Chains A and B, each alone.
Chain A
Amino acid sequence: QKEVEQNSGPLSVPEGAIASLNCTYSDRVSQSFFWYRQYSGKSPELIMSIYSNGDKEDGRFTAQLNKASQYVSLLIRDSQPSDSATYLCAVNNDYKLSFGAGTTVTVRA
């Protein structure tokens, strides 16, 4: 499987702030990219997918993709305590997802 690297955490942000998560990948031919949220002791849950260069917004979440730089990011605006979780970046190669190790986000009140 190909490598997926995420910025090491944990990331602590105050409530209402923006949390910024970064991910780089090694396989240039990758075409689809995903962000999953995983609460402690639970299974990963898909929150964003992105396939084209640029930004994609869904509520308080914005995913950004730059294929030339092999870089994907996730912004969480107006962070809430319920956003406290581990966020996994995933890259699709031949219908298999390669996952990063995850970045743990803690939103402090």
Chain B
Amino acid sequence: NAGVTQTPKFRILKIGQSMTLQCTQDMNHNYMYWYRQDPGMGLKLIYYSVGAGITDKGEVPNGYNVSRSTTEDFPLRLELAAPSQTSVYFCASSSIEGGYTFGSGTRLTVV
């Protein structure tokens, strides 16, 4: 089993550019999440989804967008990248019991 697969692993964006971070899980989990992790700040929830077609904002959604057209995929879209979006992004999925499985992360730098 691949678990949760994130691409790309690294990316450098220029200010104002856009990009999509891909996330796919093969565990048939209904719940999927996007977090960002800044040094010393812990993980902050950006968006989450409880099933295909259903998404909702987390703690820090500004500047991001998501979609959930299938159970497997949960892409995160960054529009008009800003230096404040420099971070490590983690996608995760879970079953109803609540323990997450994380992807390997995407390290994004906006210059």
Contact = CB atoms under 8 A, between A and B. Distances in A.
Interface of A: 1, 4, 32, 34, 42-46, 49, 88, 90, 92, 95-102
Contacts, number: 55
Contact of B99 (A46, A88, A101): A46
Given A1-B58, A97-B98, 4 more contacts: A42-B105, A43-B103, A49-B97, A97-B100
B6 to A, nearest CB: 9
B8 to A, nearest CB: 15
A24 to B, nearest CB: 14
Contacts of B48: 95-96
Contacts of A34: 98-100
B100 A46 contact: yes
A71 B41 CA distance: 20
Contact of A43 (B42, B45, B58, B105): B105
Contacts of A88: 42-43
Nearest to B42: A101
Interface string B82-111: 000000001000101111111111000000
Contacts of A100: 42
Contact of A96 (B40, B41, B45, B101): B45
A43 B98 contact: no
